[in-house]
Structure 1
Amino acid sequence: MTDKRPVQLVESIKTKQNKNDKAIEDALDTLQRDVKSGVTKPTMDNLVNLCGLSEGAIRKRRWAVLRLKAMKKSAKSSNEKAVSPPKSKSEVNLLRERVRDLLKENAILFEEAIGLKGQLERRDREIQVLEKRLIMKIQNHMEKE
């Protein structure tokens, strides 16, 4: 298929695409520099603000989205490395946490026991109703004979 558009239009479109690509590249470089220095986060909104293009224009360029994802991943891994290892907890704190967990578990089990008690009461009532019906059937059958 041949392109039936005017040459000037095709060249204009290519020029705009190249200009937008350059703007996205520059914005990604700036964003990466800012992320490394801890000034900003690697988000699509920040990239949109830096390059001045719409989110759709950026998402159409797969390479830009991949680079942004790579920035996010590297920022996340550097944040995880920067976090200091958790302090060892004292025995008293560990025991408090254990007691707190046991109290929560106790409350859950108590609620479950109450629910099961209610089920047993309902079954007992149903059994009584069925026994009464059986007695009534037996009586009706005896009266007919």
Structure 2
Amino acid sequence: MEQKPKISIKLLFTDKIIELLALIVFLSIWFLALSGYSQLPETIPTHYNGFGKADAFGNKANILVLPIVASVLAIALTAINFYPHLLNYTVAITQENAEKQYRLATRMLRCLKLIVLIIFTFIVYMTQQTSKGIADGLGEWILPTILGLIFIPIFYFLTQMSKNS
């Protein structure tokens, strides 16, 4: 196994903005879940099918599972960013291209973290709305939207990594 260069990647302005937005959304999901908890009925949707319709129900305490899972994912994606040399790349990493490749990889992970947090915040919000009878699930476009939000940035960044090899 080849050793990739271990270099420190400094955050650029764009990276700092993405991190700030992720922090705001991270705090928002917890605020939303905790502030709306007392207004929830005892039974809430706990799962949605591919068309965004609730198909399983449980205790309102389950609303806290979403911010917990989102937090674990956000922390994991943040931690991985400190070790870009451990990631797999579509091109060979050399001393010459390491900084550019690592920057693209860490920015992709930052974007994905922000997207995951936004998706989970939306699900918490819509679960609250559905529980109160204001909405009827997540909407039929939720699955293609989530898939697009996740895979389009991945495709974009992997394309950029290949171009910048």
When normalised by structure 1's length, the TM-score is 0.29
Give 1 or 2 for the bigger CA radius of gyration. 1
> Which structure dedicates a bigger proportion of its chain to strand?
2
**Larger relative contact order (Cα-Cα within 8 Å, sequence gap ≥ 6):** 2
> Which structure dedicates a bigger proportion of its chain to helix?
1
